[in-house]
Chains A and B, each alone.
Chain A
Amino acid sequence: MNDTLISARDVSKIYTMGAEKVHALRGVSLDIQRGEYVSIIGPSGSGKSTFFNMVGGLDTPTVGEVIVDDCRLADLNSSQLAWFRCRRIGFIFQSFNLINTMTALENVAIARIFAGATPSEARKDAAKTLERVGLGHRLDHLPSEVSGGQQQRIAIARALVNEPSIILADEPTGNLDLNTGEEIISLLAEMKRNLGITIITATHDMKMLSASDVVVTIRGGEIDNVATKDELNITIGSIDGETVMKE
């Protein structure tokens, strides 16, 4: 059944840098279905992050439109956009972007507070979500007191706590070692499976593709290829404990 959640229509983004105009996206059109796990791949500077920013309501297209859940993002004012980002989108970043002065619990609870929860409700929900990602024993630790993988789990809990319909993960395994990266990928896949969340990741990580339903390749600001996992024919092997993937 066709259940389009995100629709980008002929989206172009042009940045003006002095006298020069940089085309970050050139007429990108893409539909993403509800509950899909979509990986966006492409070389650095290909426009992956720009596309992410458009879908997350962090930036506006120069030309074209982005529609999320039947809502044209360009029509929202800054307060509505803040509501949209808070309730509909969960952001996960490569460098985790946790607030260093807040504990794990506070980092997650702040997202609930922005959604209108009282501090005690927020702390309760945050504790429950951290428990779900396996960090029930690290609630009062500062980000600097936990490992990179645990920091990313806190970020995932923060992204999930408001029960968004979309998770945007920008290189979520980029700063993690092989095993921790795999744990994060399976955690995201589990969230997609159990909660029906649409997951969109920008990645260079081939392991990430094996969990994806659709892989979109962007080059030079244009969509080069859209393929399902089956079409890509990804195989996973292992040599001396290291994961090896073939396309």
Chain B
Amino acid sequence: MNKAEQIPNQVRIPWGTAVSISWTGLKRRLFRSLITISGVVLAIAFLSYMTINEAVLGALVQINDPALNASLQQHGVDVFTAGSVDPMLRLLIGLALLTSTVGILNAMLMSVTERIKEIGTLKCLGASDPFIVKAYLIESTMQGGVGSLVGVTAGSLVAIAVSLFNYHGHVFSAFPWGPVGRDMAAAFCCGIVITVVAAIAPAWTAARKQPVDALRIDE
């Protein structure tokens, strides 16, 4: 008698447990994680710097103070277009994000290659394909979260510091809290999205790996 139909599907690992397993792995592979995170930090710091700088300059132009306008022009700001959408700036940001996405994709693919035997072992222990995908996506979300947080903080601080250095007290008198907050939130979400998107293909590659092929690889 064939009892195949009596064999149940593998249990689903709860999200909380998967998050805890991924977090422990990330902490213990800190150096490797930092390489991936650094790509996110650079991209998001650049994005935050550009958008916040644009918002602050737009607010300074709105003050319409001749002395301030002169100072703005001295620093190469076009007072007639500052604060409006600059297509070149958008293109530059887009290219930076694309480059960062490719970098993260590469780092994640390297991580799959380095951990191929571990993936094979986990599959021997009963890890299902969805668990492997879940674990990789959780890891990338965490890396994206940490990288975005650091990137947003660094980019915003540098943008504000440069503005303060150039325009002194005017910056706080007209500081655009709303747009800056919105730009920071958007940059943070953008960082997580590009990291998760970049992790989808490596996660899928890892999950589809046959355990017998994964175990055959010599470390």
Contacts and interface: CB of A to CB of B under 8 A. Distances in A.
Interface of A: 53, 56, 58-59, 67, 69-73, 75-80, 82-87, 89, 91, 93, 95, 97-102, 106, 110-111, 113-116, 118-119, 158, 162
16 contacts: A58-B210, A58-B211, A70-B3, A72-B4, A73-B4, A75-B5, A80-B10, A83-B8, A93-B121, A97-B124, A98-B121, A99-B121, A101-B24, A101-B25, A102-B25, A110-B21
A18 B30 CA distance: 40
Is chain B's binding surface mostly helix, strand, loop or mixed?
helix
Interface string B94-126: 000000000000000000000001101111111
A58 B215 contact: yes
A73 B7 CA distance: 10
B128 A78 contact: yes
B124 A56 contact: yes
Contacts of A59: 210, 212
Among B1, B123, B219, residue most surrounded by chain A Cβ atoms (within 10 Å)? B123
Contacts of A102: 24-25, 28
B24 A82 contact: no
A85 B122 CA distance: 10
Q: What is the interface residue range for chain B against chain A?
A: 35 or more
A131 B74 CA distance: 74
Contact of A82 (B1, B10, B25): B10
Contact of A79 (B29, B117, B128): B128
Contact of B20 (A76, A84, A119): A119
A80 B4 contact: yes
A70 B7 CA distance: 11
Contact of B127 (A72, A91, A100, A114): A114
Contacts of A101: 24-25, 28-29
Contact of A71 (B3, B9, B125): B3
B8 A71 contact: no
A76 B126 CA distance: 14
Contacts of B10: 79-80, 82-83, 86, 114
B116 to A, nearest CB: 12
B11 interface: yes
Contacts of A86: 10, 125-126
Contact of A85 (B4, B11, B20, B125): B125
Is chain A's binding surface mostly helix, strand, loop or mixed?
mixed
B212 A82 contact: no
A82 to B, nearest CB: 4
Contacts of A114: 10-11, 13, 122, 125-127, 131
B118 A83 contact: no
Among B6, B120, B125, B131, residue most surrounded by chain A Cβ atoms (within 10 Å)? B125
Nearest to A70: B3
Contacts of A106: 24
Nearest to B20: A119
B17 interface: yes
Contacts of A95: 219
Contacts of B5: 75
Contacts of B6: 71
B118 A75 contact: no
A119 B131 CA distance: 16
Among A75, A99, A118, residue most surrounded by chain B Cβ atoms (within 10 Å)? A99
A85 B7 contact: no
Contacts of B7: 71, 76, 80, 83-84
Contacts of A93: 121, 215
B8 A82 contact: no
A101 B167 CA distance: 50
Contact of B126 (A67, A82, A97): A82
A73 B117 CA distance: 23
Among B5, B24, B211, residue most surrounded by chain A Cβ atoms (within 10 Å)? B211
Contacts of B127: 82, 114
Interface string B172-216: 000000000000000000000000000000000000001110010
